């Protein structure tokens, strides 16, 4: 079998995190009653006019800057003309020959090629269409226009991806950046991130083959799967000497198949022209600089800083920088006085399971730092501190107060420790004898017995020192 090179490009639509729609004051929220968030503008009523949302433009520019794209001082909204019942005006307001931004790249880890830079062709703003529901009323298609006019950024990649796995990695990094910068929630379940993929095969170094477009993938895993299936399909055709047809294919996750899309009559003659209702979007140098200044530290930069400044391992730095709230939390714990490596262990081991479950941290960074301090100064043992952590989430009691209430503050009182040590030596003469005759591992057993007597409250380090003193003295 001859070798084929896979060529993949992705078109990603993300919903910009605005309160209102792109061209009207309707709420852009998900989940309202059908046709509740509608007005003359997004219903396309006679006489209604669009006015662009400042925050949508700002978020689009922010996304572009985060990807290293060039934000253009002048961009133009255009009308993309086609008829479909989810499109109220008979045209979609989008950007065509003068998009908001061009260029840029996404750096991601390829399993085959190591770190690769995937080019970004363009980023433009456009309005979403409504939602269609088939056979909700038998024989009819129902239309909900709540989503019509919701602001989207379309991010088009160069055909730089070479495998379905790379495509998935690209999406992971892209989503991370967009969530980090507050551009979008990027939830495929809520429809705030959608992916269309183009794929073709060619001889390595040869001209591009005919591409097909894949739609209807509802998760990153399914994007990868659909691309694998389509790659196999094209490979079989080409190996058999056939030709790939340029079609749009719908992925069926249940059946694990891709099938040509029917029904929507694709005119492919969208008759784009500048929307005469909307003067160009003109952004000054100062405006673009301000949008750039607003950018948070991006995950890649944060990851390397966590290694250089906090001395974290690459793995820990990656985990802690993956999500902005986690990274911010970790850094707050460090700022509150905790040693970075200890803080990293606590955040990853104790804080993150709860965060991953409910999306919030039960214990504030300052209280976690306080708890870490109690371990460090010997007030509580490490295992006791984990019990304290479990209790901290329930209220706003200080870590020390919780440890005291639970009786977990370590006993360092000399008289009490001395009494327990004397008793244990008296109760275990055989073990004491073996220790003295050259079995040092029995110290651990004796420490354990003292801890048991103290019901875990003794400081094991102090116990061990005291035992040694006693055993050597007598």
Residues between 113 and 132 that touch other proteins (CB under 8 A): 132
Closer residue to other proteins (CB): 89 or 122: 89
Q: How far is the CB of 99 from other proteins (least distance, A)?
A: 15
What six digits make up the tokens of 439?
Answer: 């079995």
Give the three-class secondary structure for 131: strand
* Binding-site member from 6, 8, 10, 89 for other proteins (CB under 8 A): 89
- Applying CB under 8 A, the site for other proteins has a residue count of 80
Among 85-93, 338-346, 424-432, 450-458, the segment contacting other proteins (CB under 8 A)? 85-93
Closer residue to other proteins (CB): 213 or 339: 213
Closer residue to other proteins (CB): 243 or 262: 262
* Binding-site member from 37, 69, 95, 102 for other proteins (CB under 8 A): 37
Asked if 336 is part of the footprint of other proteins (rule: CB under 8 A), the reply reads no
Asked if 294 is part of the footprint of other proteins (rule: CB under 8 A), the reply reads no
Among 13-21, 235-243, 376-384, 426-434, the segment contacting other proteins (CB under 8 A)? 13-21
Closer residue to other proteins (CB): 42 or 421: 42
User: Token match 């970075």: residue?
Assistant: 340
Asked if 290 is part of the footprint of other proteins (rule: CB under 8 A), the reply reads no
Is 86 buried (19+), middle (13-18) or exposed (0-12) by CB count in 10 A?
Answer: middle
CB atoms within 10 A of CB 342: 16
199 near 231, Cβ under 8 Å?
yes
Q: Which residues of 313-326 are buried (b: 16+ CB within 10 A; e: fewer)?
A: eeebbebbbbbbeb
CB atoms within 10 A of CB 413: 11
Q: How far is the CB of 83 from other proteins (least distance, A)?
A: 5
Closer residue to other proteins (CB): 31 or 139: 139
Asked if 88 is part of the footprint of other proteins (rule: CB under 8 A), the reply reads yes
DSSP summary character for residue 161:
B
CB atoms within 10 A of CB 140: 10
73 near 283, Cβ under 8 Å?
yes
* Binding-site member from 6, 8, 9, 20 for other proteins (CB under 8 A): 20
Q: How far is the CB of 284 from other proteins (least distance, A)?
A: 9
* Binding-site member from 113, 134, 436, 455 for other proteins (CB under 8 A): 134
Asked if 221 is part of the footprint of other proteins (rule: CB under 8 A), the reply reads no
Sheet holding 77-81, edge to edge: 91-95, 77-81, 273-274
Under rule CB under 8 A, which residues in 297-316 are in contact with other proteins? Answer: none
Distance CA 471, CA 474 (A): 6
* Binding-site member from 216, 222, 379, 449 for other proteins (CB under 8 A): 216
Among 110-118, 139-147, 234-242, 424-432, the segment contacting other proteins (CB under 8 A)? 139-147
Q: How far apart are the first and last CA of the chain?
A: 82
* Binding-site member from 64, 101, 108, 145 for other proteins (CB under 8 A): 145
User: Token match 């792109």: residue?
Assistant: 22
* Binding-site member from 232, 239, 277, 300 for other proteins (CB under 8 A): 277
DSSP of 7-41: EEEEEEEEE---SB-SSSSSB--SSPPTT-S--TT
* Binding-site member from 7, 43, 366, 406 for other proteins (CB under 8 A): 43
In this structure, are strands 77-81 and 91-95 parallel, antiparallel, or unpaired? Answer: antiparallel
Q: How far is the CB of 159 from other proteins (least distance, A)?
A: 23
* Binding-site member from 8, 12, 52, 64 for other proteins (CB under 8 A): 52
* Binding-site member from 5, 13, 70, 81 for other proteins (CB under 8 A): 81
Backbone angles phi, psi at 66, to 5 degrees: -65, -25
DSSP of 224-274: HHHHHHHHHHHHHHHHTT------EEEEETTTTEEEE--SS--------EE
Q: How far is the CB of 171 from other proteins (least distance, A)?
A: 20
Asked if 149 is part of the footprint of other proteins (rule: CB under 8 A), the reply reads no
Asked if 247 is part of the footprint of other proteins (rule: CB under 8 A), the reply reads no
Asked if 337 is part of the footprint of other proteins (rule: CB under 8 A), the reply reads no
Asked if 83 is part of the footprint of other proteins (rule: CB under 8 A), the reply reads yes
Closer residue to other proteins (CB): 138 or 241: 138
Asked if 135 is part of the footprint of other proteins (rule: CB under 8 A), the reply reads yes
Distance CA 131, CA 33 (A): 12
Asked if 51 is part of the footprint of other proteins (rule: CB under 8 A), the reply reads yes
CB atoms within 10 A of CB 55: 16
DSSP summary character for residue 102:
E
Is 457 buried (19+), middle (13-18) or exposed (0-12) by CB count in 10 A?
Answer: middle
* Binding-site member from 8, 57, 347, 374 for other proteins (CB under 8 A): 57
Q: How far is the CB of 235 from other proteins (least distance, A)?
A: 21
Closer residue to other proteins (CB): 141 or 236: 141
283 near 274, Cβ under 8 Å?
no
């Amino acid at each position: 079998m001859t070798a084929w090179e896979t060529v993949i490009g992705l078109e990603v639509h993300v919903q910009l995190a605005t309160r209102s729609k792109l061209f009207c004051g309707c709420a852009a929220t998900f989940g309202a009653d059908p046709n509740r968030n509608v007005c003359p503008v997004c219903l396309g009523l006679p006489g209604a006019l669009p006015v662009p949302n400042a925050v949508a433009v700002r978020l689009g520019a922010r996304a572009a800057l985060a990807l290293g794209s060039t934000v253009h001082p002048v961009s133009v909204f255009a009308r993309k003309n086609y008829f479909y019942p989810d499109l109220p005006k008979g045209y979609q307001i989008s950007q065509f020959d003068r998009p908001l931004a061009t260029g840029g790249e996404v750096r991601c880890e390829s399993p085959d090629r190591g770190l690769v830079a995937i080019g970004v062709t363009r980023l433009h703003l456009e309005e979403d269409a409504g939602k269609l529901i088939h056979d909700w009323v038998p024989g009819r298609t129902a239309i909900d226009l709540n989503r019509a006019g919701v602001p989207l950024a379309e991010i088009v990649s160069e055909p730089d991806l070479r495998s379905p796995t790379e495509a998935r990695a690209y999406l992971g990094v892209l989503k991370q950046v967009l969530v980090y910068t507050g551009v979008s929630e990027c939830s495929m379940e809520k429809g705030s991130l959608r992916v269309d993929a183009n794929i073709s095969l060619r001889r390595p170094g040869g001209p591009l083959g005919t591409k097909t477009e894949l739609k209807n993938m509802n998760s990153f895993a399914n994007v990868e799967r659909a691309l694998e299936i389509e790659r196999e399909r094209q490979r079989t055709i080409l190996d058999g000497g056939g030709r790939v047809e340029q079609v749009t294919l719908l992925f069926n996750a249940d059946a694990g198949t891709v099938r040509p899309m029917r029904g929507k009559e694709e005119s492919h003659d969208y008759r784009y022209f500048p929307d005469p209702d909307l003067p160009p979007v003109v952004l000054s140098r100062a405006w673009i600089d301000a949008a750039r200044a607003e950018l948070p530290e991006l995950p890649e930069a944060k990851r390397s800083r966590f290694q250089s400044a906090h001395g974290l391992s690459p793995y820990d730095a990656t985990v802690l920088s993956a999500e902005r709230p986690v990274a911010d939390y970790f850094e707050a714990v460090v700022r509150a006085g905790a040693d970075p490596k200890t803080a990293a262990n606590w955040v990853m081991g104790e804080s993150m399971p709860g965060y991953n479950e409910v999306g919030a941290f039960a214990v504030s960074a300052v209280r976690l730092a306080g708890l870490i301090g109690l371990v460090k100064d010997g007030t509580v043992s490490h295992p006791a501190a984990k019990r304290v952590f479990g209790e901290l989430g329930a209220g706003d009691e200080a870590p020390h107060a919780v440890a005291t209430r639970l009786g977990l503050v370590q006993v360092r009182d000399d008289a009490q420790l001395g009494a327990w040590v004397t008793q244990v030596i008296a109760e275990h003469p055989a073990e004491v004898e073996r220790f003295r005759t050259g079995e040092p591992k029995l110290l651990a057993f004796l420490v354990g017995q003292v801890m048991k007597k103290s019901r875990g409250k003794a400081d094991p380090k102090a116990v061990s020192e005291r035992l040694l003193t006693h055993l050597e003295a007598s």
